[in-house]
Amino acid sequence: MADRLDYYFRQRVTEAELDLGFELLEKADRNLAADIGVYGIVSGAEPAPHSPVADLTIDLTAPGRAYDHIGQRIFFGTGQRVDCSIDLSGIPTEVTVAGKERWLAVFIRFDRLLSDPRTDGNSQQVYFRRDETFEFVVRQGAEGNVGAAAKVPLQEDELLVCDVLRSHGQTQIQAGDIDTSRRQAFIFATGDAVQIVSGLWSVLSPATETVQSALDSADAVLDGHFDGTANKHPAAHVAYTPHGFVGASNVQAAIDEVVDDLSSATAGTPGASKVGADAVAGTPNALPAGNVDGQLSQLLAWLNSHVGAAAGAHAASAISAAVHNYIAGTSVQAQLQEIVSTLLAQTAGTPGSSRIGADAVTGTPNALAAGTVDAQLSTLLGNVNSHITNATGAHAASAISVADSGGNLAASNVEAALAEILDAFEDDHYRGNEGNAGQHRTIHQPNMGTGKVLLWEAIGVGSAATHLRVYVDSDSVWFLLNTSWNGSAWARDSTSWFCGGFRFSRQDFQLFHEDSFAATFTNWTCTWTIPMRSTVNSAFEITGTVREVGRLGIESHNTYNATRNMALGATATFRSRFPATPSSITFASSSSYNFSGNPSLWDTDRDGFGFFSYQNVPSNSSVYWFGSYTAVA
């Protein structure tokens, strides 16, 4: 309600009285707004950089509605552009010092727009209409350091639209320069002015029964709830929609189910089977998309296969190794190669043996100091050379043991072995400290068995042709070349050579020859025997392949004075006794006279043959035939 004026009948009202009527009504409106506490920008007047091209003005959206602190209505129906380059006094707002900034405050305030001018009774010009309008006020604060400039204080009869930040050298106001945190938005009524009834509330307990207090209480509850310090509620009271392998319907049960499923070690449905895994590329192995359980199983299989591989797991170069001592390689392959190369090195000063340590070795008269194998080898070589080059007295022969793997000696050291050998040697030889040192004394041989026993064998110059053996049996001594007796036959040393020899006994002497080249044989091709004890013992008796060539001849004379047919004949004796009657005898003439053809053979045996011929010999002429015979038996 408003204060009222009661105009009465026939009252002559004045201008002031009419104006008072409007003022009282207007005051009642504004009192209502002031009493309720309504003020602020209701809508519109949203600041933004000027469009389309930003400059030092800002645009405000329309329509804009607001009420100031005394309830005066502010309204504009079209978009507004506010110049921020100067303040309400026309002073530029620019920041003059680098490193400084300045806050501007853009306010809106109520105003009256006078219009419809008229001339009153006093001949004064007055405006019949006084419409509600507005104006923008730009105020600027003092320059301050960047981040420390003070904002413009709020004004009692103005409403703050926004703050604008000016900086040094600024030519445009961007969105980031506009701050609406202090914007005086519309307030309908203060919470303290509205009462509430909290008697049945179970959570909120406002200090006073006002909206403000109730909201404060709600804020405290929510603050504790959101901070987790108070007013928490069980997860079981939070609904959850079953999804995937989780069938629970509240958060507590869902989490329990997730935990239980993920921690499950049950074969076939372990927790890892609930966790998905994408495909993982790799060479030589790759993992297909699946779940963690499947991929873990696959990885374990590969790992076991790799770890259990007896060979060819992977290249040694793939195994890293720390640098150590003189080994500079950084992989097992490189270090192994380096070790092998180093150990094989024959470089003077740094041979492989210099890389191998060796502990001290005690001994007398020589000992080895701890060092390297190289150093100890050098020491040993020196010791050995010194020992070997000792001209005399290196050590006693009795200190040298005899292994005697063949079991030939009773002695166990060189001294005793030499004595033992010399004891045996001197039976048939002259000792080294005697005249004819080393030469044979009488050769003694014991009974060496039965059959043909080998007494002596000499290879001579190494030729099988003169490989000499001497055998003895119960009757004879045999001297043989290129053959030996194998117990049942003669065996050639070389099948490229004849065999030969001789044998003598108390009753005969025999020469041998064999020309078959057979590996073994039992009969000699030829033998020549002198039967010393036989009744006929003047010549060799021959066996085998025998061919004898001898001379023979016949001559006579026809003393008659006419030609006569003369019988001529003679005999020939073989030089040796043939083994049998010859099977072939050939006569060849060397000279003849008055002789036709050759003689004919007659009366042949193993000792010789006869021959004859009938020739017609002229009177008082000689006849002769001289030639040779060749007999084969």
Partner 1 sequence: MAIREIRTSDFDQECAKCGAVRAVTLSSVEVGVARDNQIDSRIVPLPPCPTCGATEFLLRSPTGEEHPTPGSYGHLHRVLVDELHAKLVKANRVANGLDAKTVALKEPSAETIGRYFPGGLKLPPPPKSDGDKQ
Q: What does the binding site for partner 1 look like in residue numbers (CB under 8 A)?
A: 465, 496-498, 515, 517, 523, 525-527, 543-547, 579-589, 597-598, 600-605, 612, 628, 630, 632-633
Beta strands 57-60 and 276-277, pairing class: unpaired
Q: Are 577 and 606 in contact (CB under 8 A)?
A: yes
Q: Which helix (H) or strand (E) element contains residue 257?
A: helix 251-263
- Three-state SS at 111: strand
Closer CB to partner 1, 172 or 496, in the complex: 496
Q: Partners of 137 in the beta sheet?
A: 107
Q: How far is the CB of 629 from partner 1 (least distance, A)?
A: 9
**Least spacing, CB of residue 504 vs partner 1, in Å:** 20
- Which amino acid would we find at residue 351? P
Question: Which of 590, 601, 600 lies closest to 624 in space, CA to CA?
Answer: 590
Nearer to partner 1, 260 or 605 (CB): 605
Kindly state the smallest distance separating residue 548's Cβ from partner 1, in Å.
11
Contact 197, 209 (CB under 8 A): yes
Q: How far is CA 418 from the centre of its chain?
A: 62
Pick 300 or 588: Cβ nearer partner 1: 588
Q: How far is the CB of 630 from partner 1 (least distance, A)?
A: 4
Can you read off the two tokens belonging to residue 415? 């001294």
What residue type is 404 in one-letter code?
D
Instruction: Tell me how far, at minimum, the Cβ of 465 lies from partner 1, in Å.
Output: 6
Q: Where are the alpha helices (H) located in 389-443, listed in sequence order?
A: 414-425
> Rounded to whole angstroms, how far apart are CA atoms 257 and 234?
16
**Looking at beta carbons only, is 45 or 633 nearer to partner 1?**
633
Which residue number, 180 or 545, has a Cβ lying nearer to partner 1? Answer: 545
Token pair for residue 33?
Answer: 């707004």
Q: How far is the CB of 559 from partner 1 (least distance, A)?
A: 22
CB of 512 to partner 1, least distance (A): 12
Q: How many Å apart are CA 561 and CA 566, to the nearest integer?
A: 13
Q: How far is the CB of 469 from partner 1 (least distance, A)?
A: 18
CA 347, CA 515: separation in Å to the nearest integer?
Answer: 66
Query: How far, in Å, CA of 269 to CA of 263, rounded?
Result: 10
Query: 421 or 549: whose CB is closer to partner 1?
Result: 549
In this complex, which beta carbon is closest to partner 1, that of residue 186 or of residue 521?
Answer: 521
Smallest gap from Cβ 398 to partner 1, in A, equals 52
Q: Greatest CA separation found in the chain?
A: 245
Query: Which CB, 252 or 598, lies closer to partner 1?
Result: 598
Please tell me the distance from the alpha carbon of residue 35 to that of residue 39, in angstroms, as a whole number: 11
Judged by CB, which is closer to partner 1: 242, or 597?
597
Query: Do residues 567 and 614 touch, judged by C-beta distance below 8 A?
Result: yes
